[in-house]
Amino acid sequence: MSVDSVISATAALAGPLTLIHDADKAPGWWRSAVIYQVYPRSFRDLNGDGIGDIAGITEGLPHLADLDVDAVWLSPFYRSPQRDAGYDVSDYCDVDPIFGTLGDFDIMMAEANRLGLRVIVDLVPNHCSDQHAAFQAALAAPAGSPERDMFIFRDGSGPEGHEPPNNWQSHFGGPAWTRVIGPDGQPDQWYLHLFDSSQPDFNWDNPAVHAEFERVLRFWLDRGVSGFRVDVAHALVKAPGLPAWGGRADGGSSDGFPGHEAPMFGQPAIHDIYRAWRLILDEYGPDRILCAEASVDLPRLAHWVRPDEMHQAFNFPYLHAGLDVYRLRSVITDSLTVLDAVGAPSTWVLSNHDVVRHASRFGYNGSGPRDGDGIGPADQQPDTELGRRRAAAASLFMLGLPGAAYLYQGEELGLPDGIDIPEGMRQDPTFARTGGERLGRDGCRVPLPWSAAEPHLGFGSGQQPWLPLPASFKELARDVQAATPSSHLNLYRRTLAARRELGLGRGSLAWAEEWCTGSSLGFVNGTTLVLMNLNHEPLEMPAGDVLLRSADPESGHFLASGETVWLQLVRGDTE
């Protein structure tokens, strides 16, 4: 059936349609994939030391295959002092002992292959750990040496260089510069770290840095990974001369999305790096992909996914649109439009390891916690039921969109953030660097509950988990939900199965104008109408067969407040 005939067939049922995006016929598994983010330290702890490990991932993979995702993305498991939960890498080509060994990784890859799951790993090229051999060599070498030139060392300003070289701030709070003691024992130069002081930024003006990362790419490609999620992919190149910046540390302006005005983000030369990487991936065949974690606004995001650069980029504007129907509509329209123009698929995402989980974010009427700040016991508390109901609605809505979708481990269980985390257990550097003013991201990193009857809810059978699992996780445990047909988990399963069967990931998108009101949003993908009601009042549904709904089917032909439905408008046999 052509787009035209679908549109005329569905128009009668769904009212006027505004077509934004045509069905996607280009090759490439990733264009419509559902990719599940595994956060290794919180997934499953097989050796019982309280921290998730690679063997635990291997053990859990059948559950992910059963959920019917296409790929998993693993957050960093490399050698690391774990000052930023592994985003501070001291050896890019080895597994940290807390997670296992390279042998464990190979076993996990074999199991993923057996199950038909692809594996994407996290590449952290903006900075490494201060324990990385290259940084240790830089500390031991004098100013101006090739060792120092791997990083961004500068003399201080002010009398005797006592002040940082410029006014840049770290993302995690405090100055973005730290002064070192030189090989002679005297106060010496300063080095740049956009994140924690234990995460020195590499100098991407130096070809030796390029060569090192090309080696790292090949190392993991040779081990069979399907690609890389590229950490802070907008930050690698800094503006020449490192000019002062008066704006926010994330590069944002008060009215705009982060990451394009500031001298530490979005510099044009970044794109040459990704073009070179793309050539390397292409040597390994057309199935290996790069996905940018680039916090930039939508028109600019398209620059990261031009045909000779990366394959996809996270759609953070979508995550930030929350449940605001006007913002959602404009972000979806803009995403599909600007990405179609460069031939790239859009991605969609609601949660990850850096933001409050959407089941908690959506438990607030009005503004909830700021990204990365977390929720503590003293803060206004989210309404758990409301949050979970709206999270189901938002997920069902997102998974109806054409393009690729990223899921964050535990969202299929409708998990909320952990709130009662003792301060002494908090590990996000944000907490310490802001003197506790910002709690940080530990709340969304709490370990997963696997089975209600086991110690630590089946996360691990040994020591206390590195962060406590809230009591409420018991009834949300995977085994409880697997046995409950109306559970969040079973909604995800049905949704992913239907999405695959209907080919929605490769489908089209037309706004169903009659259903796009100030408090509801509806679109047609192929012959499926996806409709989300955010009004306080129930909404009478249009005609059509109900395929899936995110809440209680008891409400009959009315869509409850905070509910999404998938309706089949045209049966396949009308062809």
Active site residues per annotation? 231, 283
295 in Cβ contact with 349 (< 8 Å): no
* Euclidean distance between CA atoms 130 and 139, whole angstroms: 9
Give the one entry of Ca ion, ligand GLC, none that residue 195 binds, where binding means its C-beta sits below a cut-off of 5 to 8 angstroms depending on kind. ligand GLC
Q: Does 231 bind ligand GLC (CB under 6 A)?
A: yes
| Residue number, 49 or 261, with CB nearest to Ca ion | 49
Cβ atoms within 10 A of the Cβ of 241, count? Answer: 8
444 in Cβ contact with 428 (< 8 Å): no
- Locate the DSSP E strands across 296-335: 312-313
553 in Cβ contact with 541 (< 8 Å): no
The DSSP line for 343-397 is TPPPEEES--TTS--HHHHTT-SS--PPTTT---TTSPPP-HHHHHHHHHHHHHH
Q: Which amino acid, 549?
A: R
Query: What does the per-residue mask of binding to ligand GLC show for 341-360, with x meaning CB under 6 A?
Result: ------------xx------
| Residue number, 94 or 261, with CB nearest to Ca ion | 94
| Tokens linked to 34 | 């559902």
Give the one entry of Ca ion, ligand GLC, none that residue 45 binds, where binding means its C-beta sits below a cut-off of 5 to 8 angstroms depending on kind. Ca ion
The DSSP line for 146-159 is TTGGGB-EE--BSG
Q: Cβ of residue 480: shortest distance to Ca ion, in angstroms?
A: 24
Residue position matching structure tokens 């791997």 = 150
Among 124, 294, 407, 534, binds ligand GLC (CB under 6 A): 124
Give the one entry of Ca ion, ligand GLC, none that residue 47 binds, where binding means its C-beta sits below a cut-off of 5 to 8 angstroms depending on kind. Ca ion
* Euclidean distance between CA atoms 327 and 392, whole angstroms: 19
Alpha helices in 223-257 (DSSP H): none
Q: Does 250 bind ligand GLC (CB under 6 A)?
A: no
Q: Cβ of residue 72: shortest distance to Ca ion, in angstroms?
A: 18
Give the one entry of ligand GLC, Ca ion, none that residue 392 binds, where binding means its C-beta sits below a cut-off of 5 to 8 angstroms depending on kind. none
* Euclidean distance between CA atoms 191 and 212, whole angstroms: 20
Give the torsion through C-alpha atoms of 475, 477, 478, 480, to 10 deg.
-30
Q: Name residues contacting ligand GLC, limited to 170-229 (CB under 6 A).
A: 195
| Residue number, 53 or 147, with CB nearest to Ca ion | 53
333 in Cβ contact with 20 (< 8 Å): yes
Q: Write the CA distances from 318 to 94, 263, 497, integer angstroms.
A: 34, 25, 23
Give the one entry of Ca ion, ligand GLC, none that residue 417 binds, where binding means its C-beta sits below a cut-off of 5 to 8 angstroms depending on kind. none
Residue position matching structure tokens 């019982």 = 48
Residue numbers at the binding site for Ca ion (CB under 5 A): 45, 47, 49, 51, 53
| Residue number, 45 or 412, with CB nearest to Ca ion | 45
Give the one entry of ligand GLC, Ca ion, none that residue 176 binds, where binding means its C-beta sits below a cut-off of 5 to 8 angstroms depending on kind. none
| Tokens linked to 385 | 């039921």
Q: Cβ of residue 193: shortest distance to ligand GLC, in angstroms?
A: 10
| Tokens linked to 371 | 């990204």
Q: Name residues contacting ligand GLC, limited to 268-297 (CB under 6 A).
A: 293
Q: Cβ of residue 113: shortest distance to ligand GLC, in angstroms?
A: 27
Residue position matching structure tokens 């549904």 = 541
Q: Which DSSP category does 279 fall into?
A: H
| Residue number, 118 or 353, with CB nearest to ligand GLC | 353
Among 30, 43, 78, 87, binds ligand GLC (CB under 6 A): 87
| Tokens linked to 483 | 């046995």
Q: Cβ of residue 223: shortest distance to ligand GLC, in angstroms?
A: 22
3-class state of residue 292 by DSSP: strand
Query: What does the per-residue mask of binding to ligand GLC show for 290-329, with x meaning CB under 6 A?
Result: ---x------------------------------------
Q: Cβ of residue 88: shortest distance to ligand GLC, in angstroms?
A: 7
Q: Does 30 bind ligand GLC (CB under 6 A)?
A: no
* Euclidean distance between CA atoms 235 and 194, whole angstroms: 9
Q: Does 84 bind ligand GLC (CB under 6 A)?
A: yes
State the residue number with the nearest CB to ligand GLC.
87
| Residue number, 40 or 263, with CB nearest to Ca ion | 40
Q: Name residues contacting ligand GLC, limited to 366-425 (CB under 6 A).
A: none
Q: Site for ligand GLC (CB under 6 A): how many residues?
A: 9
Q: Does 117 bind ligand GLC (CB under 6 A)?
A: no
Give the one entry of ligand GLC, Ca ion, none that residue 22 binds, where binding means its C-beta sits below a cut-off of 5 to 8 angstroms depending on kind. none
Question: From its phi and psi, is residue 458 left (phi > 0), alpha (psi between -120 and 50) or beta?
Answer: left
Beta carbons within 8 Å of 162's beta carbon, 6+ residues apart:
156, 187
State the residue number with the nearest CB to Ca ion.
53
Q: Which amino acid, 4?
A: D
Q: Cβ of residue 207: shortest distance to Ca ion, in angstroms?
A: 39
Question: From its phi and psi, is residue 445 left (phi > 0), alpha (psi between -120 and 50) or beta?
Answer: alpha
Q: Which DSSP category does 70 fall into?
A: S
Give the one entry of Ca ion, ligand GLC, none that residue 354 binds, where binding means its C-beta sits below a cut-off of 5 to 8 angstroms depending on kind. ligand GLC
Q: Does 232 bind ligand GLC (CB under 6 A)?
A: yes
Q: Cβ of residue 403: shortest distance to Ca ion, in angstroms?
A: 35
Q: Cβ of residue 231: shortest distance to ligand GLC, in angstroms?
A: 5
- What are residue 29's phi and psi, to 5 degrees? -60, -35
- Parallel, antiparallel, or unpaired for β 177-181 and 187-192? antiparallel
Give the one entry of ligand GLC, Ca ion, none that residue 309 binds, where binding means its C-beta sits below a cut-off of 5 to 8 angstroms depending on kind. none
| Residue number, 124 or 547, with CB nearest to ligand GLC | 124
3-class state of residue 442 by DSSP: helix
Q: Cβ of residue 354: shortest distance to ligand GLC, in angstroms?
A: 5
| Residue number, 42 or 533, with CB nearest to ligand GLC | 42
Give the one entry of Ca ion, ligand GLC, none that residue 57 binds, where binding means its C-beta sits below a cut-off of 5 to 8 angstroms depending on kind. none
Q: Does 130 bind ligand GLC (CB under 6 A)?
A: no
- Catalog residues that contact ligand GLC under the rule CB under 6 A: 84, 87, 124, 195, 231-232, 293, 353-354
